[in-house]
A and B are shown apart, each in its own frame.
Chain A
């Protein structure tokens, strides 16, 4: 059978989701080619996250299209080439470039356009809409030299736009026609709470303000209202709602709804054969849906139908949870209490800036909906409860009232019915998540995300997903307790907090106060690391020596045959010929195997315990120091040669790498930490595969966080853009120290950030905006580390008592371990395999242990 063609008109979030589904669900494999016509010059991007562009997220990072996605020969993305007409008789579309493409099925995903109220003076210089990346670029350009701005529209998008203007340092006023902000989502009292929170951020608000005309004046623009003083500003952004972009459909003679939008039935089919419409351009189930989740659901329906399925779209949940200007706002279910007999329970705390309303049935036994302003932490649990057949606690106020024990309010994940929708963006139910754990073998949030898609769009349900995974695992009898081990009920992060706040300085105090038993190979090294993070004392003195894993205990890396490897620090990978000669000479004198590491240094293998001090004496005398390859601590800062030598470099990456490596060397952390610095966007240092990646720009540095190689490779995410070295270092200081303070044991930075509620934005708020008031403490801790760092190997060599542990046999200190044997390979040593060793060397029989 010949291949068929699906034409998708529009490459926004929903259009792209449809293409993804065509691949995922097997439509492409079933013989369909997909042609996508995009009006914009860039592929689909995260329009919901558009505002983050002003805070440094690049257009590239907003992109929803995975690298190489459109490389498939079955997929054809035509950027900057919108469809201009459809011939439903001939079953073809014509594009602006003049191509005519026949279709077997056509999906309209043209989205919407910004609504500009028909008032005199609404267009012209200094007047913008807030819809596309191009709009944002224009606004940013216009904000140069401007001081004031007004946003017309106080709804969701309006507040986003206001936040954008605020981040461009404009004195901003929000103008709303209705008597309150976000009139569609919140009620009068919620609007009041929101108003106070917004005004506290320095944004002026005018409600009940009907703009009548915008006048051009010499100094800028003047907004004239029906009542009240006019408002003079430099620029105006319209964000007063959207209108479905159905012009193409009208031209083709397709039926449209009275209030706009391509009219579709519950299969998302329009009024011509094999034509569908999805997303904001469609009028489905009686209305246009201005949220991304219903659009995704419609895309599922279309792909399912093309595959012969029976899915329908009959409406969607309009619940939303947002963080606007750092303020939580959520509404869900019947938030305006329109159900007959519905009761409203309101909790308001104007001082704390919190407003919560629950809408319940007339017998107060079931939740119908609600509104949360200022603190929406209960949202993930409350939303699935709305309309669900779950009986509420005797006092439903418990669901939202702050609890004295500090626990989050609400009934918890266990109370949800299996049919409850946990992730509204990807329509994933509690049942599907539990199945993924029970039958799919998922053991953590990351696994469930990968398996079900839950939590991958807006992320608001991640906390709930975590609870569900934990509940399900405990039902299965799989321990996922956060307790460190059988000796401590606290997690590593909690233990760190206890040590820090109580000023604990020793293992015995910690064990006596917070643990039990004698400890083990999990809690002892963790405690050693925490103590070292906080005071930087010599890691092997006193009690601390017995806490360390053998690597830290010998200040070297144990290999499979019982020998150790030695890695001196080579900061930034820069090494003098003199040091190279020393390394070569030492390796030769001690017969060590040498290899270049991935982190741009030299590893020397095959050292016996009693040789370590002798080797290090030579290295320290030559001016080298510990590379901490054995520690859960900073490993290397990999760099390219940068501007100094490279024709393309734009900053001095090597110098920065050396500075960073010397600054953070020796800091004990929950897991190893790697960094990289590249001198230009070509990224030769592969910085984005590191926990902290720095890439030079013409204007300074971009900082990326949360990358790693290994089992689950991950690129780091952009955190800061075009910052100077001082800002960069201060930010790395804080993120790194926060990681040391709060990560779990052996948790790299990526899962640490992923597990954070609010993710990267939250992290940025904490370290850039100091939202938790922690920055001073983090800065102080890092300053203390930098000021008190001391090379462990130099300290060891200076003290005969510390050298005592580097003994092969306590009763024969000079005798080498006779079991260690090497053979030569490619001119160097390697450990002998068992069959290569003489039989006398292998001692210690495998015992038959008698069961008692």
Chain B
């Protein structure tokens, strides 16, 4: 099992918006969409600022995405891949709801490995 960390009650996350959380000193951007929860690195790779949680979320084509609030690049909420520059991406964290609490674990790729 992974080390799941409880973050907050689900209701604390606004719908279709993000919030930042601290996970052992790392910054995670949590997003709550109609489809569920997403957790990505909070660091915008283009500016280096910890702001991804403050981006607008939506979709590009069929991909759910968050747009960086600094220079507006879009990132896939599920894969973390930058949709404007495929050489760049955000780390993806595992996220689940347990007994009404949002829980996060890192990193997602270790999970599937």
Report the minimal beta-carbon distance from A55 to chain B, rounded to whole angstroms.
44
Q: Which of A818-852 contact B (CB under 8 A)?
A: 818-820, 834, 842-849, 851-852
Report the minimal beta-carbon distance from B59 to chain A, rounded to whole angstroms.
4
Which residue in B26, B57, B72, B80 is a CB contact (below 8 Å) of A849? B80
Which of A525, A810, A817, A852: most chain B CB closer than 10 A? A810
Closest to A559 in B: B49
Report the minimal beta-carbon distance from A703 to chain B, rounded to whole angstroms.
36
> Given contacts A810-B12, A811-B8, A834-B48, are A558 and B70 in contact (CB under 8 A)?
yes
Is A546 touching B17 in the complex (CB atoms < 8 A)? yes
Is B51 touching A550 in the complex (CB atoms < 8 A)? yes
Q: Which of A501-559 contact B (CB under 8 A)?
A: 517-521, 523-525, 543, 545-550, 553-554, 558
A550 / chain B contacts, CB cutoff of 8 Å: 51, 54-56, 69
Closest to B104 in A: A811
Q: How far is the CA of A852 from the CA of B81 in the complex (A)?
A: 11
B105 within 8 A of A: no
Which residue in A562, A834, A844 is a CB contact (below 8 Å) of B45? A844
Is A560 touching B49 in the complex (CB atoms < 8 A)? yes
Which residue in A519, A809, A843, A852 is a CB contact (below 8 Å) of B58? A519
Report the minimal beta-carbon distance from A366 to chain B, rounded to whole angstroms.
47
Is B14 touching A520 in the complex (CB atoms < 8 A)? no
A805 / chain B contacts, CB cutoff of 8 Å: 14
Q: Sorted from nearest, which 3 A-B pairs have the closest CB atoms?
A: A844-B43, A562-B49, A521-B67
Is A520 touching B56 in the complex (CB atoms < 8 A)? yes
Report the minimal beta-carbon distance from A762 to chain B, rounded to whole angstroms.
34
Is B58 touching A807 in the complex (CB atoms < 8 A)? no
Closest to A819 in B: B50
Is A811 touching B21 in the complex (CB atoms < 8 A)? yes
Beyond A558-B69, A851-B86, list 8 extra A-B contacts (CB 8 Å).
A519-B59, A523-B58, A550-B51, A558-B70, A810-B21, A844-B90, A847-B90, A849-B80
Which of B26, B41, B50, B72: most chain A CB closer than 10 A? B50
Q: How far is the CA of A549 from the CA of B47 in the complex (A)?
A: 17
Is A842 touching B48 in the complex (CB atoms < 8 A)? yes
Is A807 touching B19 in the complex (CB atoms < 8 A)? yes
A808 within 8 A of B: yes
Which residue in B47, B69, B91 is a CB contact (below 8 Å) of A847? B91
Interface size on B, residues (CB 8 A): 52
A398 within 8 A of B: no
B95 within 8 A of A: no
Is A518 touching B59 in the complex (CB atoms < 8 A)? yes
A307 within 8 A of B: no
Report the minimal beta-carbon distance from A479 to chain B, rounded to whole angstroms.
15
Report the minimal beta-carbon distance from A278 to chain B, rounded to whole angstroms.
53
Q: Which of B76-102 contact A (CB under 8 A)?
A: 79-82, 86-91
> Given contacts A554-B54, A847-B88, are A520 and B60 in contact (CB under 8 A)?
yes
Closest to A834 in B: B48
B19 / chain A contacts, CB cutoff of 8 Å: 807, 809-810
A812 within 8 A of B: yes
A546 / chain B contacts, CB cutoff of 8 Å: 14-17, 56-57
A24 within 8 A of B: no
Is A809 touching B91 in the complex (CB atoms < 8 A)? no
Is B13 touching A520 in the complex (CB atoms < 8 A)? no
Is B50 touching A817 in the complex (CB atoms < 8 A)? yes
Q: How far is the CA of A818 from the CA of B67 in the complex (A)?
A: 23
Which residue in B49, B58, B74, B87 is a CB contact (below 8 Å) of A518? B58
Closest to A523 in B: B58
Closest to B17 in A: A546
Report the minimal beta-carbon distance from A489 to chain B, rounded to whole angstroms.
16
Is B56 touching A549 in the complex (CB atoms < 8 A)? yes
B57 / chain A contacts, CB cutoff of 8 Å: 518, 546
Beta-carbon contacts of B4-48 to A below 8 Å, as 1s and 0s? 000110001111110111100111001001100000011101011
Q: How far is the CA of A562 from the CA of B20 in the complex (A)?
A: 12
Q: How far is the CA of A543 from the CA of B34 in the complex (A)?
A: 13
